[in-house]
Amino acid sequence: MQWRNTQSGYGWTAIGFHWLVAVAVVGLFALGWWMVELTYYDPWYRQAPAIHKAVGVLLFLVLTARLLWRWLNPSPRPLGRPWERRLARLVHGLFYLLLFALMTAGYLISTADGSAIDVFGLFSVPATISDLPEQEDIAGDVHRWLAWTVMGLVALHTLAAFKHHLIDRDDTLRRMLRPGASRR
């Protein structure tokens, strides 16, 4: 079983990180979009934000591990034209930057009142920055705009993967689905 990346493709670890982050990001966006419409008397009023926060903290840990794995592992040989490779590097860098900024804003919202974030009863993340003027409102606005920006990048990323697969007929998408899937 191929766990590490090679020059021609990704290993199971990188593939697993990619899809785990993708599902978590899209799931958190959907949950966040849904939960802001809940009323005080809705049974999910407290539970949905608690799940959103806990998964957000876990995503932070997974994204950090993914970034470390990326630094410790060789990346496969990039595919596409030179401008596509440059754009892909830019988009991937933006993903990391925006996701960490998004989670930081979420942390600032969640801890504005000095409360820790409980992660499914396993551990808590303490409030280190709280009581800043309008912290919850400003961080909330930043969080919302970053979430929509990330989802725009997700759409661009998805369209690019399908373009490579359906139009260019290269292995860009194929090698993110399973190791050794490259035709070359």
Delimit the domains of the chain by residue range.
Answer: 12-176
132, two tokens: 């800043």
pLDDT digits (tens, 9 = 90+) for 99-112: 999 999 999 999 99
- pTM value > 0.95: no
Distance, in Å, from the CA atom of 107 to the CA atom of 95, rounded to the nearest integer, reads 18
Q: Which CATH architecture is the domain 12-176 placed in?
A: Up-down Bundle (1.20)
Beta strands (DSSP E) in the chain are 117-119, 123-125
Beta bridge partners of residue 62, listed in sequence order = none
What are the pLDDT digits (tens) for 33-84? Answer: 999 999 999 999 999 999 999 999 999 999 999 999 999 988 888 888 999 9
Judge contact between 62 and 20, C-beta under 8 A: yes
Angle, helices 47-72/82-110, rounded to nearest 10 degrees: 140
> Residues 94, 84, 154, CA angle at the centre, nearest 5°?
40
Residue 22: strand, helix, or coil = helix
